[in-house]
């Protein structure tokens, strides 16, 4: 299966995790840990380690992450007491040890307010500049409480605001729909989740400053926003997320030895909101493709191709 370099998942071990990682078409994953632990990825899926909090900044973990790859994620939600619970100053004091790994570094991933002057991330980034510390990209989490079509725009506005403030690439390492406003957690229904998984991931694929994104979470082994049931079978949201990123080229030349076949979904030139249903079949000649496109708006279609 063709894999999107940008598309990823946050996961823990569950029955069928390797099958799910293969099927979803993600190019990378992480598990909030310095090693893969008991998550076995299929070939071609990158693992990205994390130093979760102050207590995990140890010589053993800092050595372990260097064996996992070239990129390291910083502290997990230090702005929340129930997560890594660190002040910006504490994180800055520990940051030189992460920097000493020589790996590409993602900022601590705040739970909210990354776009606000004086917020946790703003204080950290200001301190990093003052101390001459290196932060290669911003890491973010986002959860939307609006379960309707406007949610994609809310996510995009937040990302735009953060990028405008810091001017560096962004990784969105947790995102989904959850409403925490009522004292508990409210989840979308299956169709709302699937609609958002598809629409949001398509938006993120095309966002130039966004280097990577990861849905929370791959497993649907308990109620929530997971994508794959035990055994590695996708639910409706998993199918929608899987569909994004398969069309990795807009010509039949993949340039890396793989062959290209027509994607089942083409993008429309009719603008946002245009619904397009398409089909493509090989014509009798070796060079031509016969295309059929139906659009509710009558707009034209651009072919997209999957490299396999």
Q: Give tens-digit pLDDT for 66-121.
A: 999 999 999 999 999 999 999 999 999 999 999 999 999 999 999 999 999 999 99
| Whether pLDDT at 295 is above 90 | no
> pTM to 2 decimals?
0.82
pLDDT at residue 285 is higher than 70: no
Q: Is the pLDDT of residue 249 over 90?
A: no
Instruction: Find the angle CA(172)-CA(220)-CA(49) to the nearest 5 degrees.
Output: 40
Q: In terms of DSSP bridges, do strands 305-307 and 247-249 run parallel, antiparallel, or are they unpaired?
A: antiparallel
Residues in the chain: 308
Q: What is the mean pLDDT of residues 270-295?
A: 32
The pLDDT value recorded for residue 2 is: 75
Residue 205 and residue 165: Cα distance in Å, rounded?
21
Residue 207 has pLDDT above 90, yes or no: yes
Instruction: Please report, to the nearest 10 degrees, the dihedral formed by the alpha carbons of residues 254, 260, 265, 269 taken in order.
Output: 50
187 closest CA partner among 197, 176, 201: 176
List of residues 6+ apart from 163 with CB closer than 8 A? 138, 170, 209
Model confidence pLDDT, tens digit, residues 162-180:
999 999 999 999 999 999 9
Tell me: pLDDT of 197 over 70: yes
CB-CB contact of 234 with 278 (8 Å): no
User: How high does pLDDT run on average in the chain?
Assistant: 85
Q: What is the pLDDT of residue 261?
A: 43
Give the pLDDT band of residue 1 (cuts 50, 70, 90).
low
Rg (CA), the chain: 20
Check pLDDT > 80 for residue 253. no
Q: In the predicted model, what is the mean pLDDT of residues 181-208?
A: 97
Report whether 10 contacts 32 (CB < 8 A).
yes
How many CA atoms does the CB half-sphere of 247 hold within 13 Å? 18
Query: Do the Cβ atoms of 140 and 133 come closer than 8 Å?
Result: no
Query: ∠ CA 236-15-11 to the nearest 5 degrees?
Result: 70
CB neighbours (10 Å) of residue 93?
A: 15
Distances (CA, A) of 284 to 86, 201, 281, 288, 294: 64, 35, 10, 7, 22
Burial per residue of 181-216, b for 16 or more beta-carbon CB atoms within 10 angstroms, e otherwise:
eeeeeeebeeebbbbbbbbbbbbbbebeebbbbbbb
Which of the pair, 247 or 256, is modelled with greater confidence?
Answer: 247
């Amino acid at each position: 299966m063709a894999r999107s370099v940008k598309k990823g998942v946050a996961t823990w071990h569950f029955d069928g995790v390797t099958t799910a990682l293969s099927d979803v078409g993600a190019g990378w994953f992480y598990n909030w840990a310095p090693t893969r632990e008991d998550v076995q990825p299929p070939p071609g899926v990158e693992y990205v380690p994390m130093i979760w909090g102050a207590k995990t900044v140890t010589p053993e973990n800092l050595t372990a992450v260097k064996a996992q790859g070239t990129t390291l994620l910083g502290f997990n939600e230090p702005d929340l007491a129930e997560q890594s619970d660190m002040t910006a100053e504490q994180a800055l004091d520990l940051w030189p040890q992460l920097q000493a790994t020589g790996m590409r570094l993602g900022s601590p991933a705040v739970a909210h307010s990354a776009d606000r002057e004086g917020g946790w991330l703003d204080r950290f980034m200001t301190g990093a500049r003052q101390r001459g510390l290196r932060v290669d990209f911003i890491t973010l989490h986002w959860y939307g409480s609006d379960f309707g079509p406007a949610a994609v725009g809310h996510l995009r506005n937040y990302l735009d605001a953060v990028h405008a403030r810091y001017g560096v690439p962004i990784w969105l390492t947790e995102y989904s729909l959850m409403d925490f406003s009522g004292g508990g957690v409210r989840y979308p229904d299956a169709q709302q989740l699937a609609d958002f998984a598809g629409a949001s991931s398509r938006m993120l694929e095309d966002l130039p400053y966004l280097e990577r994104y990861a849905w929370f979470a791959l497993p649907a082994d308990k109620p929530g926003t997971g994508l794959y049931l035990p055994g590695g079978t996708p639910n409706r949201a998993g199918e929608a997320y899987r569909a994004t990123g398969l069309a990795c080229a807009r010509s039949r030349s993949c340039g890396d030895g793989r062959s290209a076949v027509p994607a089942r979904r083409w993008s429309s030139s009719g603008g946002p909101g245009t619904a397009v249903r398409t089909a493509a079949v090989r014509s009798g000649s070796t060079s031509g493709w016969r295309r059929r496109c139906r659009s509710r708006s009558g707009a034209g279609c651009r072919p997209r191709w999957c490299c396999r």
